Amino acid sequence: MTVATMLIGGLAIITAALLVVLEFGRRGWTLSSPEDRHLNAHLNAQSRRILSSAVEQSHSGVVIADCTGVIEYVNPRYSQITGYSSSEAVGRLAELMNNDELTDANNLTLQEAMQLGAGWETFMVSIRKNGDRFWQQVTASPIHDDLGSLSHIVLNIDDISERVETQAQMEKLAFYDPLTGLENRRLFRDRLDQGLKRVRRSKKGMALLFLDLDQFKRINDTLGHDAGDELLCVVAQRLRSCVREEDIVSRLGGDEFTILLADIAHADDASLVARKILKALQDPIPLGEQEVIVSCSIGITIAPEDSMNASVLMRNADLAMYRAKDQGRNNFQYFTDDMNIESQARMSLENELRLAVNNEDFVVFFQPQVNLNERRICGFEALVRWRHEQVDLISPDRFIPVAEETGLIIKVGEIVLRQACRQMSEMQARGLTGLTVAVNLSARQFRDRNLVSMIRKTLQETGLEPQWLELEITESMLMDNIEQAIDILTELKAIGVTIAIDDFGTGYSSLSYLTRLPVDKLKVDRSFVSNLPESPRHTAIATAIIAMAQRLRLQVVAEGVETQPQADFLHGHQCSILQGYLFGRPVDASELPAQMLDLEKRISLENLLLPVTALAH
Ligand code: C2E
Ligand code: MG
Ligand code: MG
């Protein structure tokens, strides 16, 4: 039951009671025998008393006016609501609080209602004696005399301002984003449907823009949520300023916004707005002491060309937005059909991956790491492959991002860890001791609450001692939320495992952060190693990382070592642990013994290695 119907219900009861009493009183006079008359006079007096006290004490304002609308009586509640005392009101027209400007033109006036002789009910804005406006609900009931002509009118008046206000607020909550004041997802969907109807009628086009801020999470994490909120508000204002009054801007949630441009003549019109938005966001946004610059990626879809279905349009714009992100962010892209094909391929990859996780269709390959100072193999990196029925082996670069987005990575990660630990445990049982196994953790795994207990359990089940397990975590995973990362790393270290920062040099970490992180190793990213020793820039970076690691007393590993000169350079600069095709490709556990034999022979020789081409297969 809504507030309004409750209200109407309440009023109806009061009015009905009033009318019954009036009616009873009226009939009383028409009875004829003396006893009856006496009894009736008594009842009459009593009923009048009841009537008057009911009316006097009513929670509604009550006005009784004659058939010309002149007030004969008002109760105390009426005076309370309107500020007019009984003496001020009586004798004036019952419409004294009305305000034509404020009243809905469709409402009957009191005079009109009286002419019709019908009951009448309305909501309207009225004016109190002191000039304040308020919402009132008025119910008017006509009273007729014995001949059936209108003699009086009874008005029930309720001040419903508070309820109207609450209702307006509830509506605001239901349809508007409380942070930015923009329309929310729900209202946006309504607008989209209305927009489509308009397209159908007017034959003019409509554009739907889907915007997502670039790197918003990073800003939020580094500057805090309050700053993030402030930023969203500024962005909302700027978006509004880029469009016409009649265009719709809404916030779907997080850092996602949508814009509806109605009545566009050409698809190109949307790109004007998109450009304007990209430009408007270029101005730095002051947040407390700092200034930040944000950019966004925009996907655009056009009705009726792309679709006339609201859900399809939303999906199109979303796909186009992702394409804009892929294109390096801070740009806009129109939806094209190939995006659909791409997304279908992605869907089927997702489904197949789900099946693969259930069937555990993954195999872990091992790539050796050698310690050139000690001239021995010191461990392996475990690298997962998806064993696919039709495609054979699928590389992790193709499916890890999908697994990460869908959350399947948690299961995949468990499978890899279990296989890697089991293999190492078996090697140790065969006498191959002193070797570590490095397992990669993805961002989602790293933030998974069960990570620590899962690792503990896996070590126990496979019988591998924690000191032989190394976990590789990328730099960007740590930088997303440094305090949380320190907590997780501390817990992991407490298990007794080693921690390495993978792909080092590609993230954003600063020296001051590094000193606070409980890590043991840095892995110099392949991209720097591959250009050694020719590129002066990469040589500088690689040597700086090695020097930094030494200063922080961290071990340093170089990955992606393919050539002898690279190995010589690194070894010459005190980076003695190396990994790469020069020493061996990642192989299946069954091929490992042969590969190890071959490699040990090579590294035990004084002049190390064969050219990489000889190892190519
Ligand atoms: P990563 O952890 O940096 O692993 C090193 C990658 O470089 C591996 O690719 C490896 O095969 C390749 N590599 C090794 N030596 C050389 C070399 O000399 N030259 C070149 N060009 N490449 C070399 P892979 O196996 O395709 O793995 C790619 C990435 O996938 C890994 O990069 C890692 O980030 C991710 N990944 C692999 N396995 C897992 C896993 O089990 N879990 C998670 N979360 N990620 C994994
Ligand atoms: Mg790795
Ligand atoms: Mg790496």
CATH of the domain at 247: 3.30.70.270
| 607 C-beta neighbours (distance < 10 Å), count | 6
Q: Which residues contact 570 (CB under 8 A, 6 or more apart)?
A: 524, 529, 532, 542, 546, 558, 561, 576, 578
Given 288, 314, 335, the domain boundary residue is: 335
Strand ordering across the sheet containing 296-303? 248-253, 256-264, 205-213, 296-303, 332-334
CB of residue 455 inside a 6 A radius of ligand 1: no
Strands, E assignment, 160-295: 205-213, 248-253, 256-264, 285-287, 290-292
Q: Is residue 446 part of a domain?
A: yes
Low-confidence residues of the chain, pLDDT below 70? 1-40, 42-43, 96-118, 507-511, 605-617
- Expressed as residue numbers, the domain containing 187 is 166-335
Task: Supply the pTM of this predicted model.
Answer: 0.59
Q: Is residue 340 part of a domain?
A: no
94 and 32 within one domain = yes
579 and 548 within one domain = yes
Long-range CB contact pairs, 285-294, < 8 A, 24+: 285/231, 285/234, 285/235, 287/223, 287/227, 287/230, 287/231, 288/223, 288/227, 290/223, 292/219, 292/223, 292/231, 294/213, 294/214, 294/215, 294/216, 294/219, 294/231, 294/235
Residue 601, pLDDT score:
87
Helices 185-202 and 161-175 sit at what angle, rounded to 10 degrees?
80
Domain holding 427: CATH number? Answer: 3.20.20.450
464 and 416 within one domain = yes
| 594 C-beta neighbours (distance < 10 Å), count | 10
Q: What are phi and psi of 317, to 5 degrees?
A: -65, -35
197 and 126 within one domain = no
Given 302, 335, 368, the domain boundary residue is: 335
Residue 208, pLDDT score:
98
Instruction: Look up residue 24 and give its DSSP letter.
Output: H
CB of residue 580 inside a 6 A radius of ligand 1: yes
Distance CA 323, CA 297 (A): 9
Distance CA 65, CA 123 (A): 19
| Whether 329 contacts 297, CB under 8 Å | yes
247 and 217 within one domain = yes
Q: Is residue 189 part of a domain?
A: yes
Pocket test for ligand 1, best of 353, 383, 402, 472 (most atoms within 8 A of CB): 383
500 and 592 within one domain = yes
186 and 148 within one domain = no
Q: Which residues contact 210 (CB under 8 A, 6 or more apart)?
A: 256, 257, 258, 298, 299, 300, 301, 314, 317, 318, 320, 321
- In the block, tokens 């000191």 appear at 467
Instruction: Give CA separation, 198 vs 206, 258, 304, 334, in Å.
Output: 9, 18, 11, 22
Instruction: Give CA separation, 608 vs 173, 249, 565, in Å.
Output: 71, 65, 11
CB of residue 562 inside a 6 A radius of ligand 1: yes
Residue whose CA lies nearest to ligand 1 atom number 27? 396
Nearest CA among 121, 127, 118 for reference residue 95: 127
193 and 89 within one domain = no
Please state the separation of Cα 381 from the chain's center in Å.
36
One DSSP character per residue, 363-411 reads: EEEEEEEEETTTTEEEEEEEEEEEEETTTEEE-HHHHHHHHHHHTTHHH
DSSP-derived 3-state class of residue 301? strand
Task: Record the tokens describing residue 304, joined without a space.
Answer: 């009726």
CB of residue 395 inside a 6 A radius of ligand 1: yes
* Spacing, Cα 586 to ligand 3 middle (Å): 13
| 80 C-beta neighbours (distance < 10 Å), count | 11
Domain holding 118: CATH number? Answer: 3.30.450.20
Q: Enumerate the H helices of 307-381 as residue ranges.
A: 310-326, 337-359
CB of residue 502 inside a 6 A radius of ligand 1: yes
Give the CB-side neighbour count of residue 504, counting CA atoms within 13 A: 28
CB of residue 396 inside a 6 A radius of ligand 1: yes
Residue whose CA lies nearest to ligand 1 atom number 20? 560
Residue 52, pLDDT score:
80
* Spacing, Cα 40 to ligand 2 middle (Å): 101
Termini Cα distance of the chain: 76
Nearest atom within ligand 1 for CA of residue 562: 18
Q: What are phi and psi of 421, to 5 degrees?
A: -65, -40
Instruction: Give CA separation, 499 vs 454, 540, 576, in Å.
Output: 16, 25, 18
* Pairing, β 133-144 against β 150-159: antiparallel
Q: What are phi and psi of 465, to 5 degrees?
A: -75, 145
Distance CA 12, CA 5 (A): 10
143 and 114 within one domain = yes
528 and 550 within one domain = yes
Residue 439, pLDDT score:
98
| Whether 21 contacts 45, CB under 8 Å | no
Distance CA 264, CA 363 (A): 54
Given 96, 131, 159, the domain boundary residue is: 159
Distance CA 327, CA 329 (A): 6
Query: How many residues are present in the chain?
Result: 617
CB of residue 400 inside a 6 A radius of ligand 1: yes
CB of residue 384 inside a 6 A radius of ligand 1: yes
Q: How many domains does the chain have?
A: 3
DSSP-derived 3-state class of residue 131? coil
Residue whose CA lies nearest to ligand 1 atom number 25? 383
Give the CB-side neighbour count of residue 605, counting CA atoms within 13 A: 9
105 and 17 within one domain = yes
* Spacing, Cα 550 to ligand 2 middle (Å): 21
Closest-lying ligand to the alpha carbon of 579? 1
Helices 34-57 and 3-28 sit at what angle, rounded to 10 degrees?
150
Nearest CA among 444, 427, 490, 437 for reference residue 466: 437
* Spacing, Cα 398 to ligand 2 middle (Å): 15
368 and 319 within one domain = no
Q: What whole-number percentage of the chain has pLDDT above 90?
A: 55
* Spacing, Cα 543 to ligand 3 middle (Å): 17
Q: Is residue 359 part of a domain?
A: yes
Residue whose CA lies nearest to ligand 1 atom number 15? 580
Burial of residue 616 (number of CB atoms within 10 Å: 0-12, 13-18, 19+)? exposed
